[in-house]
Structure 1
């Protein structure tokens, strides 16, 4: 970075909105949002094209006087795709920029459950925050923070796959995360993914095969016949006897067809 550029960075006052060249803003490798939904991106582009940028992005100045994006990567990407050269940006304190990034992302567009879990866990590890402190920070109840952090029990493989699946809720992933064994966890996750693409009817108990149906019907018939007390039927006994004889004849016909 040239001396002229370094001198320019000093002019960026904290809390003031500046019009900054897109080329000067660098992505932060610790950005909490890892997955970007294409439909949401297109909608954001259209909104910015129609109404302009309503909220400035946030940036910090690092030890080398580079301008590092703290929050607003979706807005920055949309502006670049629209061919804009500058963007409204505001400088923030660089001491705890990762907290600001997480809060801003949560308040604007919900992070995926996995991105949210990893970002909250990073703050917990880095600053030693309690669950209560984290809850106050991101505006969520302590038990919700506990559920968010529980997703870190998911394997790296599952987290990476789940990151880009919008249809997966925190609750659904939480049930998988509570399974301790890695192999069982993977099976549960695969079953969850499979169920998402299946019509509701197919998720129900599988249909009986022809053989199982025949056995079930025969068992039910046997139970019914055994329960009949012919002596207690009175005047209706002849009708029932006739039906039993009809049934017996049908059974003999079936058995004869097998012998033939």
Structure 2
């Protein structure tokens, strides 16, 4: 199928036309737009830049290698999508994994579908495409919904139509952003599910949220157990890990820094002072898996 695409692209003589097109194509009225837009061409990888609006910042290396191996064997079955820039330059609209995997195996060109898109449309398409991915964690989904609201100015009703999700589903994701950043990090690292997060939203006190979060990690509580713990919180005491140094006694630079450390490591980080401006940073872990996760963050 990849060979058929290449034959179609080169057979029309459109690749030669690209060299004559030295300006952006932003509308159907632009020169050569009628000849290029809507066609699949074999484009040099070095002439394509990634989409600056791409919300996806992490690409699994192992998955990329698997895709690269498939492309090496079968070719790029589904073309990427690009828009035309000035000169012989293009910008990705979608297909960054295929683009990266093709470069990984040393390919020089890739089949690409050319379409019209302005900056606003580029951002919206990137965000909506991002939501359709199956490997997103709940916080990534929530942040993407929030960007659609903030940057595209969509209401939840409009977004429901664009992404094909119920408004209640969108609302449930957005509520996760009210959780403490440490808990959000735990969800991004896979220690909590969306069900855990939805249960914790019902705890108004941030400190109490963190105590329950630590208990979930330590005792590997299920979503149902977490819901029950939240519901009967007063009857089921939460284990409180003693803090060797109270936050209020810490110098201001430590108090501010602890929030950054805690968000990064996904746990509440403590310090043990041995002077006015010296001491030890204490990083807790709750399992071998958790220890290895923290170790990887420090490598």
Using structure 2 for the length normalisation, give the TM-score: 0.54
What is the SS of the residue equivalent to 2:42? Answer: strand
What is the SS of the residue equivalent to 1:7? Answer: coil
Q: 1:169 aligns with which of 193, 208, 226?
A: 193
Deviation for aligned residue 1:79 = 1.3
Structure 1 residues 16 and 108: CA distance shift in structure 2, 3 A: farther
**Residues 153-180 of structure 1: CA deviation (Å, up to 9, x unaligned):** 23445445543x3565333333344444
Q: How does 1:1-260 map to 2 (within 5 A)?
A: 7=22, 10=25, 13-61=36-84, 67-92=90-115, 93-94=117-118, 95-107=120-132, 109-160=134-185, 162-163=187-188, 165-166=189-190, 168-194=192-218
Deviation for aligned residue 1:122 = 0.6
Specify every segment of 5 or more residues in structure 2 that has no aligned partner in the other structure, as ranges. 1-18, 26-31, 223-235, 237-299
Choose between structure 1 and 2 for higher RCO, CA contacts under 8 A separated by at least 6 residues.
1
Residue matched to 2:252: none
Structure 1 CA distance, aligned partners of 2:177 and 2:37? 35
Structure 1 residues 62 and 195: CA distance shift in structure 2, 3 A: farther
Query: What RMSD over aligned residues (CA atoms) do the two structures have, in Å?
Result: 3.4
2:23·2:87 contact (CA, 8 Å) conserved in 1? Answer: no
Specify every segment of 5 or more residues in structure 1 that has no aligned partner in the other structure, as ranges. 199-204, 206-260
Bigger radius of gyration among the two: 1
Deviation for aligned residue 1:33 = 1.6
Structure 2 CA distance, aligned partners of 1:74 and 1:149? 27
Structure 2 CA distance, aligned partners of 1:194 and 1:62? 53
Structure 1 residues 98 and 120: CA distance shift in structure 2, 3 A: same
Deviation for aligned residue 1:98 = 2.0
Q: Which one is further off, 32-41 or 79-88?
A: 32-41
**Residues 111-132 of structure 1: CA deviation (Å, up to 9, x unaligned):** 3322221111111112321212
Structure 1 CA distance, aligned partners of 2:147 and 2:64? 26
Structure 2 CA distance, aligned partners of 1:141 and 1:109? 17
Structure 2 CA distance, aligned partners of 1:63 and 1:196? 55
1:32·1:116 contact (CA, 8 Å) conserved in 2? Answer: no
Using structure 1 for the length normalisation, give the TM-score: 0.61
What is the SS of the residue equivalent to 1:184? Answer: helix
1:20·1:88 contact (CA, 8 Å) conserved in 2? Answer: yes
The number of residues matched between the two structures is: 195
